[in-house]
Structure 1
Amino acid sequence: MLCEHLNPTRRSVLGASGALFAWAFAPRFVKAAQARDPRFITIILRGALDGLTAVPPIGDPDYSGLRGDMAMSFQGENAALPLDGYFGLHPALGNFQRLFQSGQAAVVHASATSYRDRSHFDGQDVLESGFPAPRHVETGWLNRLMEVIPRGEALNPGLGKGGVGGLSVGATAPLVIRGKAPLLGWSPAVLRPADADLAPRLADLYGERDPMLAALLAEGVATGKIASGLGMRSKGGPGDPDGMEQMARGAARLLSHPEGPRIAALAFEGWDTHAQETARLAKLLQGLDRSLAAFEQEMGPVWKDTAILVVTEFGRTARTNGTEGTDHGTATTAFLAGGAIKGGRVIADWPGLKEKQLYEARDLASTTDIRGIIKGISVDLLGASPERLVASVFPGSENVAPVRGVIV
């Protein structure tokens, strides 16, 4: 199956470059459930994660036959990490297992959006726009969520006074966080560090001739210092373990700042594993695992009120192909992590892997709509109204109820 190679459009590049805003004067959301000061982070895995390798259903009697040489077990050199006896965890996800065992991480298996075809472009459009079918809209559900969360002392939707609503991490803002609510944009530096006196010299120049540009420069310098730390330079892109960890670490430093944004989106690339999946996916999952550990380390005290959602556009075929990989599928695995997550469990209405139980006799069938999980987090952590979630955030989702109990 051919895969689309997606390039950012000029519009998306311009949207991602969107300016830095002074968050110190921004309005804020109401404190959500239990007087929290919550953070909500969405990580998009672009390319379609193989959920049957990330979280293998080792207890399913049909699993090993479908997967052949790629099947995992609880024994051997590359044994799966134990979760609950039925499901295992890829050995690259050691930090996630630790969080799972401490009740701060959970798995949502056999999950999907409403999309049932297998185009990366359309699948990502549905996942990130929040609409039930691909419409190629220009706003994402996370940005629209910021507009419907009540304002108060804790979170900042960026409505009015030019305040920062959310944090977009990376060179291009993911569709999921594009929209009317303003964003703070940050990406790890890729150029050689400038001389130490360059910023002060520019500040003096702009201060005399363009006060507005001088203010933006000051905010940009401050943002870079908070996110990157001294001497921190780009080590890799969003499809590399070093790049993933660095993006997460910088995002966490900004989110943990008392006057910083509370909602963020990141996108990690390269999850399309048609060939040589075993080695490729191990490297990618290592990067995801390190990024989750970086969030935990850098968020500090606010980790206890943090929820991280890791999602992908669709899954992969239940059977392997002839190139030691898997092709485009349907249901997959989503991950939840953070101190606000009611973890230590696999959330799944397991559909089974017999041929008659597979979607179109080839894919893991979806039994959990990921929109229900997002709605549950939005209601219980952020104080969103279920009615407004249907009206503005996930139009056409009247039959998808919020999954309650995801948040502690």
Structure 2
Amino acid sequence: MIDRTVFVSRRNLLARGAFIGGLALHPRLALAAAGTDARLVFIILRGAMDGLAAIPPLNDNRLEKLRGQLAAPPAQLGAPIKLTADFAAHPALAGFAGLFAAGEAAVVHAIASPYRERSHFDAQNILETAGNAAYAVKDGWLNRLLPLLPAQSPAVALSATLPALLQGAAPATSFAPSRLPDASAGLKVRVAALYEADPLLHRLWSDAIATEMMAGASGSADGPGNSAALAATAARLLADASGPRIAVLDMGGWDTHAGQAQRLNNQLRQLDGVFAALKSGLGAAWSNTLVIAATEFGRTVAANGTGGTDHGTASAALLAGGRVAGGKVHGDWPGLDRLFQDRDLMPTSSLNALFAGAVAGLFGLDPELVVRRAFAAAPAKAMTGIIRT
């Protein structure tokens, strides 16, 4: 028999959000019919992805001179996959390269935020808040975007905590499959009956059960920490008619100071699996989806003494989905003859400009309004030509 006082005494804890046998509760989750068919998935690549290795330029002797053996993947990993006459994809991005060839993926190269120092934490904060300095802005630019959407269907982060990108006044939530054993169906029924007379907890419980059913996340064979499994969960949530229309995924591990060749291969293979899981899970909704994968800064052009690269400036953003103007490497390629601070890929495109142009085009919003509302602290003219109309 369940002791009612145990659950009632935990009301405040549950109202703030808790995990019960694979079920995440969050007070700001409210399921409603979405007012748009467009979907956005934003993937944060934490640790500074090496854009020159992920999407290497072709026929650039300076890259080989500065990087030596790191200029190309080891032979056992396979050869780079040609995307255009000027760029290739790392062999671990074979699935992404296939999307690119089908017109469902694109790249924006030599891109960076306004940040020009080399702290991961500061750079990630600026990436997520679009501030003009680290921690100068308290809410995320994606949260500031939400009130501009046709209807406020909540955004969700597939994470145990809400990333800065989604923090703010607009409704947003986080959801992650629990590592604990799933609660029995009987327990869930008894808890539902217990909360039936409580307006707050009854709504929270009902919403959480609905989210779990949409996610299909309980007892995932791939494990709750698997990136592709989380992407599949995000896809199920987004594909549901009553689900959110924006999802955020968080991928760490991109800080490749040493042993970069194998480590980066593993990271890119995981990212490739994320793209595949999103396309598969979204089904028909993929045709109206945009996926953006972006990192806080790039890495040095030259290799260091431990088989890796150090903190740099410009990198590459990877885009996918049926709404992307695919089959292209966007941006103004600066070449490697002139480096930023004589060490980094020169930034020629703005992440803020990409984000503003992409979300404006995807959701049919005025680009200037998006810049004013979401990127006012460090404005950049919204990038055009990213979204397929």
Matched, 1:258 2:275: no
Paired with 2:199 and 2:224, the residues of 1 have a C-alpha distance of: 35
SS at match of 2:272: helix
SS at match of 1:334: strand
Q: How does 1:36-47 map to 2 (within 5 A)?
A: 37-47=37-47
Paired with 2:172 and 2:277, the residues of 1 have a C-alpha distance of: 22
Letter in 1 for 2:171: P
Aligned equivalent of 2:364: 383
Letter in 2 for 1:227: A
Q: How does 1:3-402 map to 2 (within 5 A)?
A: 18-19=26-27, 21-24=29-32, 28-29=34-35, 37-72=37-72, 78-149=78-149, 151=150, 156-157=151-152, 164-208=153-197, 210-229=198-217, 231-232=219-220, 235=223, 237=225, 243-354=226-337, 357-398=338-379, 400-402=380-382
Q: 1:16-44 deviations in whole A, cap 9, x for unaligned?
A: 974253323x6x54x5xxxxx21111110
Aligned equivalent of 2:385: 405
Paired with 2:232 and 2:133, the residues of 1 have a C-alpha distance of: 34
Deviation at 1:231, TM superposition (A): 3.4
| Coordinate RMSD, CA, aligned | 2.2
| Conserved 8 A contact 1:340-1:407 | yes
Paired with 1:372 and 1:60, the residues of 2 have a C-alpha distance of: 27
| Conserved 8 A contact 1:55-1:88 | yes
SS at match of 2:363: coil
**Structure 1's 86 and 318: CA in aligned 2 closer, same or farther, altered over 3 A?**
same
Deviation at 1:132, TM superposition (A): 2.5
Report the more deviating stretch, 123-132 or 76-85: 76-85
Deviation at 1:75, TM superposition (A): 7.6
Paired with 1:203 and 1:234, the residues of 2 have a C-alpha distance of: 29
| Conserved 8 A contact 2:46-2:253 | yes
TM-score by length of structure 1 reads 0.85
Letter in 2 for 1:97: A
- List runs of 5+ in structure 2 lacking aligned partners: 1-15, 19-23
**Structure 1's 77 and 316: CA in aligned 2 closer, same or farther, altered over 3 A?**
closer
**Structure 1's 390 and 137: CA in aligned 2 closer, same or farther, altered over 3 A?**
same
| Conserved 8 A contact 1:58-1:64 | no
Deviation at 1:79, TM superposition (A): 0.8
**Structure 1's 147 and 211: CA in aligned 2 closer, same or farther, altered over 3 A?**
closer
Deviation at 1:81, TM superposition (A): 1.1
| Conserved 8 A contact 1:188-1:246 | no
Report the more deviating stretch, 365-374 or 385-394: 385-394
TM-score by length of structure 2 reads 0.89
Q: 1:222-249 deviations in whole A, cap 9, x for unaligned?
A: 2112113563256253xxxxx1111111
Deviation at 1:388, TM superposition (A): 2.1
SS at match of 2:92: coil
Letter in 2 for 1:223: T
What is the number of equivalent residue pairs in this alignment? 368
Letter in 1 for 2:123: G
**Structure 1's 169 and 288: CA in aligned 2 closer, same or farther, altered over 3 A?**
same
Paired with 2:230 and 2:319, the residues of 1 have a C-alpha distance of: 18
SS at match of 2:66: helix
